[in-house]
């Protein structure tokens, strides 16, 4: 399976931490500033967690997110790590007992902080282009400036209020209050400030001007432009003001001018990479056969998507979706196991999803502790005869028996079975076995749908 499966699975529970309410203004920032950078699916996950966090603090499973967003767990994980990287989400995981998560939502940066950030502003610029960038930046400009012929006459706090010594005691100290944190992101880039200081004289650039904010900004600029301490020394000398002050605005402007003079007039671009996938390259197994592709599909797709694909893209009936959800949420079956069960039953019953028959097989698989798609396929092969008997017992009409070779009886139609049923460990069927063309069509049905889905980018 893919590496993300070690990070999160549909059955893993999570709860949402929303320390403070968000506003409609936050929604505008998310839509206009963050969505072009990380995409609609990541923003949809954020808005879904936002809505759930306001309505309930109860724990639920990732399977709920799969149904709400209509996405497999792989896409939800990909959207999650993008939100984490951009500073909109903090994820906490508990590995004691069953794995569980806490998702803490962070608000977006205010427009001024966002556009002053060298990485975020350049990321947005590279995504939407110069004209759209100017338009969206102007969208958040404040035009109600104070005219120059006005002076401020506001009173200060000490002008109006004075302390009075009284016997009223002290207010209690509360440690559980939350401040509205900025949705800032974290960067792992390192920078050698000792080497930077060696090339800057104390007279030109006093040590005190390198505050924590300025150092953080220098680190981001060095990462964006791929510069070391020697290049950043020149940028700082260009940005230092006459009164020996250093500002983020000055640094950003000087870095841009120095890059244009020494490298290129075209701004650098930021592209998305997933370092987690690189670190876990050994855990990734590329499907080698169509059978492997089908196995990956069954392990990762939500049951509602399997129902949709089997029905040639049509939306499944609410009763079928409810049955699948009940198996996962109420009875605790793994979505991959439910996928195999749905496929097996639908192809065996001429696309009829009989609840009693499904639940009887599901009960057997639960007792046998079937947890993966591969295990479900194997038990379906082994117990096929028993399942045929259950189907016969639950049917109002007699199910035809297989052809025995008796000349007084007519051959009966061979039952439809999933493609994987006839492929146990990729062992070819005996050459002497007759081939039923209609069965072969059905056997390739799901693989053809999977190939069509992948061809469309699904």
pLDDT band at 93 (very low <50, low <70, confident <90, very high): very high
pLDDT band at 396 (very low <50, low <70, confident <90, very high): very low
Question: What per-residue confidence (pLDDT) applies to 179?
Answer: 61
77-81, 258-262, 398-402: which range is least confident on average? 398-402
Domain boundaries, the chain: 3-113, 187-270, 288-403+411-455
Question: What per-residue confidence (pLDDT) applies to 420?
Answer: 64
Question: What per-residue confidence (pLDDT) applies to 25?
Answer: 92
Is the pLDDT score of 79 beyond 90?
yes
Is the pLDDT score of 60 beyond 80?
yes
pLDDT band at 282 (very low <50, low <70, confident <90, very high): very low
41-50, 130-139, 213-222, 357-366: which range is least confident on average? 213-222
Higher per-residue pLDDT: 100 or 453: 100
Rounded CA-CA distance 105/102 in Å is: 10
Question: What per-residue confidence (pLDDT) applies to 398?
Answer: 38
Proportion of the chain in helix, strand, coil states, percent, rounded to 5: 55, 5, 40
Is the pLDDT score of 415 beyond 70?
no
Contacts 24+ apart (CB under 8 A), 138-144: 139/32, 140/111
Which range is most confident: 24-28, 331-335, 379-383, 398-402? 24-28
Secondary element (H or E) of residue 391? helix 384-394
Per-residue three-class SS string for 70-121? CCCHHHHHHHHHHHHHHCCEEEEEECCCCCEEEEEECCCCCHHHHHHCHHHH
Q: Stretch 201-214: mean pLDDT, rounded?
A: 81
Question: What per-residue confidence (pLDDT) applies to 84?
Answer: 93
Q: Stretch 76-98: mean pLDDT, rounded?
A: 90
Angle between helices 373-382 and 384-394 (to 10 degrees): 70
69-83, 110-124, 300-314: which range is least confident on average? 300-314
pLDDT band at 429 (very low <50, low <70, confident <90, very high): very low
Rounded CA-CA distance 446/298 in Å is: 11
Mean pLDDT of all residues belonging to the chain: 77
Question: What per-residue confidence (pLDDT) applies to 418?
Answer: 64
Give residue-wise pLDDT tens across range 231-266: 888 888 888 887 778 888 888 888 888 877 787 777
Question: What per-residue confidence (pLDDT) applies to 431?
Answer: 43
Question: What per-residue confidence (pLDDT) applies to 178?
Answer: 60
User: What's CA 291's distance to the chain center, in Å?
Assistant: 27
Q: Stretch 119-124: mean pLDDT, rounded?
A: 89
Higher per-residue pLDDT: 353 or 16: 16
Is the pLDDT score of 446 beyond 60?
no
Question: What per-residue confidence (pLDDT) applies to 76?
Answer: 93
Is 0.85 topped by the overall pTM? no
Question: What per-residue confidence (pLDDT) applies to 177?
Answer: 58
Question: What per-residue confidence (pLDDT) applies to 43?
Answer: 96
Question: What per-residue confidence (pLDDT) applies to 182?
Answer: 60
Question: What per-residue confidence (pLDDT) applies to 390?
Answer: 80
Geometric angle at alpha carbon 333, from 328 and 334, rounded to 5° = 90
Rounded CA-CA distance 288/189 in Å is: 37
pLDDT band at 100 (very low <50, low <70, confident <90, very high): very high
- Of all residues in the chain, what percent carry a pLDDT higher than 90? 18
Rounded CA-CA distance 87/103 in Å is: 12
For the chain, how many residues are written? 458
Q: SS3 for 337?
A: helix
Rounded CA-CA distance 403/265 in Å is: 78
Question: What per-residue confidence (pLDDT) applies to 434?
Answer: 45
Which range is most confident: 259-263, 273-277, 406-410, 434-438? 259-263
């Amino acid at each position: 399976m893919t590496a993300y499966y070690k990070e999160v699975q549909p059955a893993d529970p999570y709860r949402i931490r929303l320390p403070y309410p968000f506003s409609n203004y936050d929604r505008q920032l998310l839509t206009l500033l963050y969505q072009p950078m990380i995409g609609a699916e990541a923003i949809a996950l954020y808005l879904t967690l936002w809505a759930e966090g306001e309505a309930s603090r109860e724990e639920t499973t990732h399977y709920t997110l799969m149904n709400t967003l209509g996405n497999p767990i792989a896409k939800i994980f990909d959207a999650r790590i993008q939100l984490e990287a951009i500073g909109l989400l903090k994820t906490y995981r508990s590995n004691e007992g069953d794995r569980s998560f806490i998702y803490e939502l962070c608000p977006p940066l205010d427009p001024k902080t966002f556009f002053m950030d060298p990485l975020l502003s350049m990321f947005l610029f590279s995504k939407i282009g110069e004209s759209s960038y100017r338009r969206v930046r102007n969208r958040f400009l404040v035009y109600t400036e104070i005219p120059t012929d006005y002076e401020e006459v506001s009173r200060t706090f000490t002008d109006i209020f004075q302390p009075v010594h009284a016997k009223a005691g002290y207010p209690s100290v509360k440690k559980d209050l939350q401040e509205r944190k900025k949705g800032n992101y974290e960067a792992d880039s390192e920078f050698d400030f000792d080497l930077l200081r060696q090339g800057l004289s104390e007279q030109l650039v006093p040590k005190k001007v390198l505050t924590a904010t300025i150092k953080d900004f220098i680190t981001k600029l060095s990462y964006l432009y791929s510069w070391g301490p020697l290049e950043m020394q020149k940028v700082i000398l260009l940005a230092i003001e006459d009164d020996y002050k250093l500002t983020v605005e000055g640094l950003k402007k000087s870095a841009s001018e120095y890059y244009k003079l020494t490298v290129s007039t075209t701004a650098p671009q930021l592209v998305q990479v997933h370092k987690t996938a690189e670190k876990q390259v050994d855990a990734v197994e590329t499907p080698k056969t169509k059978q492997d592709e089908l196995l990956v599909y069954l392990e990762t797709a939500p049951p509602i998507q399997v129902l949709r694909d089997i029905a040639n893209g049509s939306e499944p009936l609410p009763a079928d979706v409810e049955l699948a959800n009940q198996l996962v949420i109420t009875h605790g079956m793994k979505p991959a196991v439910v996928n195999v069960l749905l496929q097996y039953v639908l192809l065996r019953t001429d696309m009829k999803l009989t609840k009693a028959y499904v639940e009887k097989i599901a009960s057997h698989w639960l007792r046998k502790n079937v947890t993966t798609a591969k295990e479900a396929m194997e038990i379906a092969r082994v117990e096929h005869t028993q399942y045929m008997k259950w189907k016969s017992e639950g049917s109002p009409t007699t199910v035809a028996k297989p052809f025995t070779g008796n000349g007084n009886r007519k051959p009966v139609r061979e039952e439809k079975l999933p493609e994987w049923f006839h492929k146990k460990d990729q062992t070819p069927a005996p050459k002497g076995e007759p081939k039923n063309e209609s069965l072969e069509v059905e056997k390739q049905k799901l693989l053809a749908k999977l190939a069509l889905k992948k061809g469309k980018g699904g």
